[in-house]
């Protein structure tokens, strides 16, 4: 077998599970990169002392950089390998290593640039998921759709992902979030590269492992990050890199909607204070901008959904790298 897949495993408080995860990784993987993110349980030392798998290499951080920082360290190491697909696998055992070939398949077949797991694809897959995680992930998914432009994706905090190695050289690691916002922020940066992103249905297991991610607590920080990325995406995609009818819909629709809402609220409050009903002209002056603005923004949204990348770019990047 000629392996074409490398696996990156960030390690933090997974000393009890990491060896079992490595043992379950099949021969289709040629390289396993363990990133000890200043783990207080010294997961890297445990792997070095007890694991005899020749595919394993260990990288240690002197200070904790977060899951995103650990993954990007692994990505940087994978750039120097002959692997075509680089899979990110958590070390806590929630993800089944047997799914690695299926996760990497769209990359190896040239159909996608990035693949992520989706635990919400089938109703049966979420039956065992804690309710708090279910609600929190639903809210985070909508925010990520808005900020990334990948409207067909779900489950943004799912860390079971695969990326084509050619895409890694195009990513600016220093600009990508290094902690729990990593997966969502990476989707925004991939959209700016016009990368094709697909999903793989999967189930998640929840055993006795501890998770420091609390989706409900993360909604506020994720909201800030996603709104920032949404604003940047609008500016870059609709006004700097290109200008279209959808750009005009944004320029006209948003001010109209904002004016209608503010004017209507002010006049409504004034009518309450003065105990005088608003005139028909006042109502129309508030309602018409709201209606027109809403219609224009819905038209922009339809354009944005249809503009999701369809053609993988990693082949072009690989060809460019060979000619340079």
* Residues 126, 120 contacting (CB under 8 angstroms): yes
* Domain-embedded: residue 51: yes
The predicted model scores a pTM of: 0.89
Residues 260, 226 share a domain: no
Query: Cα-flanking dihedrals φ and ψ of residue 56, to 5°?
Result: -85, 135
Task: Please tell me whether residues 204 and 247 are part of one structural domain.
Answer: no
Could you tell me if 61 and 10 are in contact, meaning their C-beta atoms sit under 8 angstroms apart?
no
29 and 115 both lie in a single domain: yes
- Note whether residue 318 is domain-resident: no
232 in the same domain as 274: no
User: Which of 153, 252, 270, 157 lies closest to 200 in space, CA to CA?
Assistant: 153
For residues 141 and 271, membership in a common domain is answered with no
User: Which DSSP symbol is given to 162?
Assistant: E
289 and 254: one domain?
yes
Q: Does a structural domain hold residue 315? A: no
pLDDT in tens, 258-297: 999 999 999 999 998 888 888 899 999 999 999 999 999 9
Beta bridge partners, 99, equal none
- Centre a 10 Å sphere on the Cβ of residue 241 and count the other Cβ atoms it contains: 10
Q: Examine the fold and report which residue of 187, 207, 238 is the final residue of a domain before the chain moves on.
A: 238
In a domain, 312, yes or no: no
Q: Do 189 and 295 share a domain, yes or no?
A: no
The residue from 204, 220, 238 where one domain ends is 238
Q: What is the pLDDT of residues 171-227, one digit of tens each?
A: 999 999 988 889 999 999 999 999 999 999 987 665 544 455 555 566 778 889 999
Task: Give the tokens for residue 300.
Answer: 């922009």
pLDDT value at position 188?
A: 96
Q: Which domain holds residue 286?
A: 243-306
Q: Can you tell me the distance from the alpha carbon of 7 to that of 91, in angstroms, rounded to the nearest whole number?
A: 11
Q: Which CATH number fits the domain that encloses residue 131?
A: 3.90.550.10
Residue 314 lies in a domain: no
**Are both 170 and 199 inside the same structural domain?**
yes
- Return the pLDDT at 60: 96
pLDDT score for 213: 53
Helix (H, G, I), strand (E, B) or coil at 58: strand
Domain boundary pick from 238, 260, 288: 238
- Total number of domains constituting the chain: 2
Do 13 and 30 lie in a common domain? Answer: yes
Query: With a cut of 70, which residues of the chain have pLDDT below it?
Result: 1, 125-129, 204-218, 318-324
Is residue 101 assigned to a domain?
A: yes
Q: Confirm whether 249 is domain-assigned.
A: yes
Whose tokens are 């990476």? That residue is 186
Do residue 228 and residue 277 come from a single domain?
Answer: no
For strand 197-201 and strand 161-164, is the pairing parallel, antiparallel, or unpaired? unpaired
């Amino acid at each position: 077998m000629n392996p074409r897949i490398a696996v990156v495993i960030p390690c933090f408080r997974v000393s009890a599970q990491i060896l079992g995860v490595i043992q379950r990784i099949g021969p289709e993987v040629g390289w396993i990169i363990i990133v000890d993110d200043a783990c207080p349980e010294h997961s890297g030392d445990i792997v070095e002392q007890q694991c005899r798998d020749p595919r394993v290499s260990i990288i240690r951080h002197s200070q904790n950089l977060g899951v995103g920082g650990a993954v990007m360290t692994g990505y940087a190491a994978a750039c120097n390998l002959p692997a075509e697909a680089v899979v990110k696998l958590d070390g806590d055992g929630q993800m089944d290593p047997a799914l690695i070939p299926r996760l990497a398949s769209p990359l190896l077949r040239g159909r996608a640039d990035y693949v992520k797991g989706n635990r919400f694809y089938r109703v049966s897959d979420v039956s065992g998921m804690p309710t708090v995680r279910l609600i929190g992930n639903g809210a985070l998914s909508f925010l990520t759709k808005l900020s990334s432009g990948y409207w067909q994706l779900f489950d943004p905090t799912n860390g079971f992902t695969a990326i084509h190695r050619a895409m890694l050289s195009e990513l600016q690691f220093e600009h990508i979030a290094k902690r729990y916002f990593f997966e969502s922020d990476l989707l925004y940066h991939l959209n700016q590269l016009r990368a094709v992103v697909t999903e793989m249905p999967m189930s998640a297991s929840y055993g006795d492992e501890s998770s420091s991610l609390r989706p409900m607590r993360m909604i506020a920080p994720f909201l800030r990050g996603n709104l920032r990325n949404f604003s940047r995406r609008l500016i870059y995609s609709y006004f700097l890199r290109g200008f279209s009818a959808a750009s005009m819909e944004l320029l006209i629709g948003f001010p109209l909607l904002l004016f209608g809402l503010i004017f209507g609220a002010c006049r409504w409050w004034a009518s309450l204070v003065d105990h005088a009903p608003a005139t028909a002209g006042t109502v129309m002056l508030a309602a018409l901008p709201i209606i027109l603005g809403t219609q224009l923004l819905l038209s922009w949204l339809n354009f944005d959904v249809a503009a999701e990348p369809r053609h993988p770019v990693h082949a072009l990047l690989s060809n460019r790298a060979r000619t340079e």
